[in-house]
Structure formats: C-alpha cells, structure tokens
Amino acid sequence: MANESETEISSLGEFGLISELTRDFKSVNKSTELGVGDDCAVLNYSGDSGKRTLVTTDLLLEGIHFDLTYTPLKHLGYKAAVVNFSDVYAMGGVPRQITVSLGISRRFTVEHINELYAGILLACEHYGVDLVGGDTSASVTGLLISVTCIGEADEGSIVRRSGARDTDLVYVSGDLGAAYMGLQLLEREREAGAGQADFQPDFAGREYLLERQLKPEARRDVIAELKKLGIHPTAMMDVSDGLSSELLHICHDSNVGCRVYEERIPIDYQTAVMAEELNMNLVTAAMNGGEDYELLFTVPLSEHQKAEQLTTARLIGHITKPELGSCLVSRDGNELEIRAQGWNAFKPQQQ
Amino acid sequence: MANESETEISSLGEFGLISELTRDFKSVNKSTELGVGDDCAVLNYSGDSGKRTLVTTDLLLEGIHFDLTYTPLKHLGYKAAVVNFSDVYAMGGVPRQITVSLGISRRFTVEHINELYAGILLACEHYGVDLVGGDTSASVTGLLISVTCIGEADEGSIVRRSGARDTDLVYVSGDLGAAYMGLQLLEREREAGAGQADFQPDFAGREYLLERQLKPEARRDVIAELKKLGIHPTAMMDVSDGLSSELLHICHDSNVGCRVYEERIPIDYQTAVMAEELNMNLVTAAMNGGEDYELLFTVPLSEHQKAEQLTTARLIGHITKPELGSCLVSRDGNELEIRAQGWNAFKPQQQ
C-alpha cells in the first residue's frame, strides 16, 4: 500500500503512467523516427531506400489478461502473436519477425508449452512471420508471455494516430463488442461450472463470440483493400482497448474532435443477443469492450467515393474541430461525450 | 506436477526447451538472416547497404532473477537494460533502441516505478540508446521486466558463435566470478539481517563484488579496442550463464573443442577472498557463476601479435579439433571435462 507521499499506480492508469515515465526522454539516434506513443515505434535502418522498420510489444499475464480454465493454450499462443501483428498492420506495415519470451511456473509441462508454441507458430505461418528469438524462464506464479514484433513498411504507407483532420471520415472494420461478450459468456459458464467435474458449458449459437475472444485475427485484409482502392488513411490504430479509448487517442494526438453515430456502430447479431441476455447496455459494450482488434481509421472527405467501395470497413462518423469535443450521437440525436472506459489493468477488480 | 506421460521442464532445462520448441521452425522472410540460437537475431532491412539490424530480448522476474530486499530499483532498471546491450555488443553491433514491458503488482507505487525507469534511462543515456516503446500492466504477484533491444551492425562486423576454428585463441575480457560472489554476499547479509529492523550489512572492502552483481556494465570498450587493433574475432558471445556454459555453446555451434587453462582464468582479489571466506571452490565459481557480462571470443592464431596488445581481454586457452573435447587444464596439468553448471532457472532450487 502507498504511503501518503506515494502515488498509487491505479490513480494514473496505464497511459498516465507511461506518459509520466517517458515525459523527459529525448531520442539521440537518427534511426529513431518515432518512439513511444503509437501502435509501433518507427525506425529507419534502410538509409535512403524509403523502407522503415516497425517495433511493437505486448505483455500477456495469467490472472490479468487470460484465464487458463477456459483458454486453450494453443489459442492463447495464437492470440499472443496476432495482437502484435495487429499493431503492425495498424501502422500500415507488414509483420515480419517476432521474439517470444515466456515465464513458466512449475505446474506447466513441456507438453503444455508445446501447445502454446503450436499456436504461436500457427499464427506465424498464417501471417508469414518468422520467430527469431526469445527468452525462457521459470516464474514464481503462472504463465507470462512477452512478444515483440518487428515489421516493415514503405515510408509513404505509414499511418500514425496524429494525422486526422477536420472533416475527415471515420471508419471501423468488422464489428465491435463480440470479444467482450465472448469473455462474459466464458466467465458465466466458468462460474456455473465451478466445482463440477462433469459440467458441460453451453456455447451453442455463440461460436462467433468465442472465436472473437479466443482466436482473434489481425485485419491485414483491410490493409489490402485500402491499398487496392488507393485509399491512404490520415490516421489509424487498432481497437484493442475499446472504440471509445481509441477514438480519444486519435482525437488527442491529432488535436481534433469527432462525431460518431450510435446507429452506425457495427454490432453482430450474436453480440446483441448476448447483451440482452446479460442485461448489459449493447452500445456501451461495443464502445468500451475492447479486444476487437479491428482497425479504426480516418479518410479525407475527398476520398469519400473510393471509401464508399470498402467492403471490410464501415463509415461511423467524422472528424471535427477540437473545440467541438468527441461525442457519440445517439439514435435520438443527443450528443454524449465519449469517455474512455476501456479496461484499466491497474484498477482494483471486483472478484 | 507432471503425469507419467508428461515431461517436466526442468528435465530439459532452458536450452533444451528452446531447441525442442523451435526444432521444426523454418523462416520465410528474406529479411531474416539469423533466427533463434545466438546472442541476437540478425535481420536485413537495409537492402544492399550492408547494414544489419540485431534483435535480442531478456526477461527478468522477481523471485527468480532478482530479490528486491537487496536490489535497489534504480540498479535493477540499469541492469535490465545493460544485459540486453551486452548481447548486442557480443554480436559486434551497437545497441540503438529498447522497448521495456513491465508487469507491476499492487505493492508498487508510481514512485517505485519512476526509480526503476530512472535506472533504465540512465543506462540508455550512458550507452546512447533510445527507449521507443513498451507495454505496462498490473501483475498478480511481483515485478517483471521484459526488455527487447534493437541494434545495428555492418554485415562484415557481425560475429556469431559458430565461427571458431581449430588453433584459434580463446580470450575473455575483465574477470569472472565476482557477480556470483556479490550475490552470495548479499544473500548472506540478507539471512543475517532477517527480522532485524536495524541490521546494518557489512560490505566493507567488497564494493567491487556488489557493483558487479547490482550494476554490471556492457563491454563496449572491448569492442572498441578490438576495432582499434583491427582484430576480427571468429566467434563471440557474452558471459551471462557462466564461462563453462558459454565455452560449450561456442564449441557446439562451431563444431570444435577447446583447452582453457585454470591458471589463466581472470579472477579479482575480492572474488578470491570471498570464495575462501565462504569455503567455496574459486575456479568453480569463476567458471560457472554467471552474470559476468564479459565478452568471450576467439581470434585466429595469425592475429596473435595484434591480440597480444589487448588490454581489456586476456588469453585463456585455444580451440582444438572437436574430437579432443572441451577441457579445463588444471594447474597440475590434469584435463577436466568442462560441463555446463550454469544456472538453470527451471531446476528446483533449495530454499
């Protein structure tokens, strides 16, 4: 517990902590073109060839990010790799290499770790990525996975969070909230089955929710379609912490506001049914659930005609001047200020 | 505990586990020049410019790799960064960027993490490295630090573990065993002070051992001297798991044997005094203690005259044909087979 003169980390949250820690830091190498604060760092190791190297890293901890009572190790490995690939695509790049570090407590056997690795290697194969290194250690409690991904991009195809401009159109790929609902479903069945050895969870008709939670994919097809249509987004990021949180990142970093329309938020039928069954607000789940790994991006108004042809993403709103703030426009026309209610790993959780 | 059909990880150890996991993996990207199995992966993102990108990663876990009862957080941050820089120098490269991921349990405050970061940033400043990203999360228990370092090297200056040849000379920088003796000293004083609030540990005259354990440096001065003298080592790696373990890596990867002479193993006076005080075998400590972060390298016999001028490293033996095995030649002329007794994090520890 913190003394009076000390600051609890939960009071800052993850983004506040990172900004506090890196505030005074200045880069000294000319190969560092972009440091902390986007989906990836951008490095220039190519001289004048116009290629850039992207670097991103994600940490997954047992008991915080995953629960092995309902997460198969192979799926976990696949997801640990894919969430990093997603960050590289979200910068307009292509993932090429990963390193994987594992901390492994004594309850895991070689066979367990082989399962985990089978998932990592499957993701690598599927996305054309090479596993090039890592570190492996015993851990005191539980499993931890730290993945770093290296990608490449042409200088001109890199999309940062900071390029959105007033009147740009806001798009999001796929649909939102399903991974969150998948997690709610898994938690409910875990609780229902607690202590019963022969318990059979009931997932019929909810396969999509489970897939979104347990085996997400990175949207390289969206990047391919943007390229095919000749659309260059002005800002882009992947939706990992929830649409609200990501919209606020883009608006903050681009110094703009936005209007996003409730009726345009893409939501799958199974997500809606599950929200009703759990008596949860569907739009809140879609805006704040997180772990969607969809791509959120902005397109200049002048490219509207090209963007209308997108089959993988949907127009959900537009960028405004910063003084208009960031709002969700409800079906009845009310403007609700968007607040980041994305998941804060440092917030004390109710058990 | 493992069933009969399952395999305990401790039975393979870290290197066995990695080799089991990555056995069937083939790289698909032409930018991947060297994957798992050396101090760094070697990537080519430079086209034909002859530059290479190096990647290495290390995981440090509380309760496994460090004990915060005697490790100041600032020192820990410094060390977490430096051990990665050491891997880049050990390939003949220069570290340029790092990412730092942290898992932080609830007993840590913002002030604690600021201390840790102050150490990381001090190391970055000292070695000219940029902090470009990371991930930060709550953890269920303790602190974990996952660092990935990106470096660069000219294609021609990269040194792998696999290039040692029969008759090459074996050199090691600095001295060995001091970090291990520092750890023994810290552990002894921790036990002596257990439960005593006003206990003052006695470290007088042992400052060097503490420094080697708590605040190691990466030997970029050795790399600079090699360059100045025009010496290009045939094989090189840093001594993190102990000289025995690293010699066996070079001999295995280069398909050679070696003779290393006990009387030539560099050992500091404080290390020798401490070993005697603790009634430990000094040579065993120097050969197997680990965490020295010195550079072990081989030089062709033809460069002997240049290598004689080295002030940062010392000749300790020579490379032989593989059928002669890897041996330590004792002071009385006996040949003792070198076995890796380096630290195995997966081995059940006596508490």
- Of residues A204 and B309, which shows the higher confidence score? B309
Closest CA relative to residue A137, chosen from A112, A99, A102: A102
Interface of B with A in 321-350 (CB under 8 A): 345-346, 348
Residue with tokens 């070696």: B258
Residue B204 sits at the chain A interface (C-beta within 8 Å): no
For chain B, the straight-line distance linking the first and the last C-alpha, in angstroms and rounded, comes to 19
Residue A65 sits at the chain B interface (C-beta within 8 Å): yes
In B, which residues are within 8 Å of A8 by CB distance? 109-110
Residue B2 pLDDT greater than 60, yes or no:
no
Q: What is the DSSP letter of B109?
A: B
Residue A46 sits at the chain B interface (C-beta within 8 Å): yes
Which residue in chain A is spatially nearest to B146 when comparing CA positions? Answer: A146
CB A140 within 8 A of CB B144: no
Distance, in angstroms, between B106 CA and closest chain A CA? 7
What is the pLDDT averaged over residues B107-132? Answer: 93
When scoring A21, A85, A127 by the number of chain B Cβ atoms within 10 A, the one with the most, hence best to mutate, is A21
When scoring A38, A57, A88 by the number of chain B Cβ atoms within 10 A, the one with the most, hence best to mutate, is A57
Q: Which two tokens stand for residue B336?
A: 């003792």
Which residue in chain A is spatially nearest to B52 when comparing CA positions? Answer: A45
CB contact under 8 A, B345 and A138: yes
Residue B51 pLDDT greater than 50, yes or no:
yes
Q: Nearest Cβ partner of B346 from A45, A62, A138?
A: A138
pLDDT the model gives residue A98:
95
Residues 6+ apart with CB under 8 A from B187: none
CB contact under 8 A, A64 and B138: yes
- d(C-alpha A267, C-alpha A287), whole Å: 10
List Cα–Cα distances, A328 to A172, A181, A244, A316, in angstroms. Answer: 14, 21, 9, 10
Residue B71 sits at the chain A interface (C-beta within 8 Å): no
Beta bridge partners of A6: none
pLDDT digits (tens, 9 = 90+) for B151-196: 999 988 999 999 999 999 999 999 999 999 999 999 888 888 887 8
pLDDT the model gives residue A37:
75
From the CA atom positions of chain B, what is the Rg in Å?
Answer: 21
CB contact under 8 A, B36 and A152: no
pLDDT the model gives residue B80:
96
pLDDT the model gives residue B346:
62
Beta bridge partners of B44: none
CB contact under 8 A, A99 and B53: no
The Cβ-side half-sphere exposure at A238, using a 13 Å CA radius, reads 27
With 0-12 CB in 10 A as exposed, 13-18 as middle and 19+ as buried, what is A126?
middle
pLDDT the model gives residue B304:
94
When scoring B6, B9, B28, B143 by the number of chain A Cβ atoms within 10 A, the one with the most, hence best to mutate, is B9
What is the pLDDT averaged over residues B46-70? Answer: 89
Q: Nearest Cβ partner of A64 from B2, B59, B140?
A: B140
Which residue in chain A is spatially nearest to B128 when comparing CA positions? Answer: A28
Residue A254 sits at the chain B interface (C-beta within 8 Å): no
CB A140 within 8 A of CB B66: no
Closest CA relative to residue B112, chosen from B156, B148, B73: B73
Residue A83 sits at the chain B interface (C-beta within 8 Å): no
pLDDT the model gives residue A1:
44
Q: Which two tokens stand for residue A48?
A: 């004048």
With 0-12 CB in 10 A as exposed, 13-18 as middle and 19+ as buried, what is A348?
exposed
CB contact under 8 A, A47 and B46: yes
Residue B122: φ, ψ to 5°? -60, -45
Residues 6+ apart with CB under 8 A from A56: A39, A40, A41, A84, A87, A88, A148, A149, A151, B133
User: What value does the mean pLDDT of chain B take?
Assistant: 90
SS3 A296: strand
Between β-strands A144-154 and A94-104, what pairing exists: parallel, antiparallel or unpaired?
antiparallel
pLDDT the model gives residue B45:
85
CB B216 within 8 A of CB B293: yes
Weakest-pLDDT range from A198-207, A310-319, B289-298, B324-333: A198-207
Single pTM value for the model? 0.90
Q: Which amino acid is at A261?
A: Y
Could you tell me how many helices (H) and strands (E) chain B has, helices first?
10, 13
CB contact under 8 A, B29 and A96: yes
Size of interface A-B (CB pairs under 8 A): 268
- d(C-alpha B20, C-alpha B12), whole Å: 9
When scoring A117, A125, A148 by the number of chain B Cβ atoms within 10 A, the one with the most, hence best to mutate, is A148
Q: What is the DSSP letter of A142?
A: S
- Of residues B329 and B13, which shows the higher confidence score? B329
Which residue in chain B is spatially nearest to A118 when comparing CA positions? Answer: B21
Beta bridge partners of A146: A59, A101
ipTM exceeding 0.90, yes/no? no
Q: Nearest Cβ partner of A9 from B6, B43, B110?
A: B110
Per-residue pLDDT of chain A (351 residues; tens, 9 = 90+): 445 678 887 777 777 777 777 777 788 888 888 888 778 889 988 877 788 999 999 999 999 999 998 899 999 999 999 999 999 999 999 999 999 999 999 999 989 999 999 999 999 999 999 999 988 989 988 999 999 999 999 988 999 999 999 999 999 999 999 999 999 999 888 888 887 877 787 788 899 999 999 999 999 999 999 999 999 999 999 999 999 999 999 999 999 999 999 999 999 999 999 999 999 999 999 999 899 999 999 999 999 999 999 999 999 999 999 999 999 999 999 999 998 765 555 665 443
With 0-12 CB in 10 A as exposed, 13-18 as middle and 19+ as buried, what is A252?
middle
Residue B348 pLDDT greater than 70, yes or no:
no
Q: In percent, how much of chain B has pLDDT > 70?
A: 96
